[in-house]
Amino acid sequence: MPQATEIIDNHNSVIKSTASTLASMGLDKLGNSTASKLIAPAVWAVDYAVNEKRPDELDISLYVLGLLAWPAAVAATVTGLMKSAVDDNTAMKLRQIRAAEGAPYSDFIFACSSYSLHAPNITAQKIAALGGTAWRHSNGLWVFIVDAEENFVMDYIPKHWEVIYQPKYPLEENAYGKLRWDIKRKW
């Protein structure tokens, strides 16, 4: 049974996306197109109630695109399934990082992709310029850490990292009003 739980955890987004797509298609074929359009919001509501997880901007955009004519709906469905696979990969890597960092920090570490849709290293630079610590773990995922009030943590040194972006000390603003930041590399 633990293997089944691990498989579900590692492929949660793909399972939800595939099941909701099939349910939506089935309802549409049965002539209930209104109900078919409500499947994704219903899945999001249940996911929020159970996991406190909200759909991101891209999920919502793909949903809206899927409401358009069938060519756009097909493109949105295919893109959504691929995005689900990426989300699952990110979640699996994030669980590894949280486990490696351990308590009490693990609950406050997040993937840079959850902060912004920019490239992860660009998001990490932005986080450092705003006063936070962001790093690339050896599994390739860029992450950052916040405190209990969801403020960026400036001086955290992770246990496992390849690259760290942090504000420079003494703290000094650049010409754009952001903090100057520094890169630390292990290689």
76-87, pLDDT tens digit by residue?
888 888 988 899
pLDDT of residue 123: 95
Residues making up the chain, counted from first to last: 187
Written as one letter, the residue type at 104 is P
Domain segments of the chain as ranges: 2-101, 106-185
pLDDT higher than 60, residue 172: yes
pLDDT category at 157 given cuts 50, 70, 90 is: very high
pTM for this model (two decimals): 0.80
Q: For residue 41, is pLDDT > 90?
A: no
What confidence score (pLDDT) does residue 55 get? 85
Q: What is the pLDDT of residue 165?
A: 96
pLDDT at 1: 57
Lowest-confidence region among 2-6, 14-18, 31-35, 59-63:
2-6
Segment 106-115 long-range contacts (CB within 8 Å, at least 24 positions apart): 108/145, 108/146, 108/147, 108/148, 108/153, 109/143, 109/144, 109/145, 110/143, 110/144, 110/145, 110/146, 111/141, 111/142, 111/143, 112/142, 112/143, 112/144, 113/142, 114/56, 115/144
- Name the nearest CA neighbour of 129 among 180, 177, 171, 183: 180
For residue range 116-139, list pLDDT tens digits in order. 888 999 999 999 999 999 999 999
Tokens describing residue 55: 């759909």
Q: Report which of residues 82 and 13 the model is more confident about.
A: 82
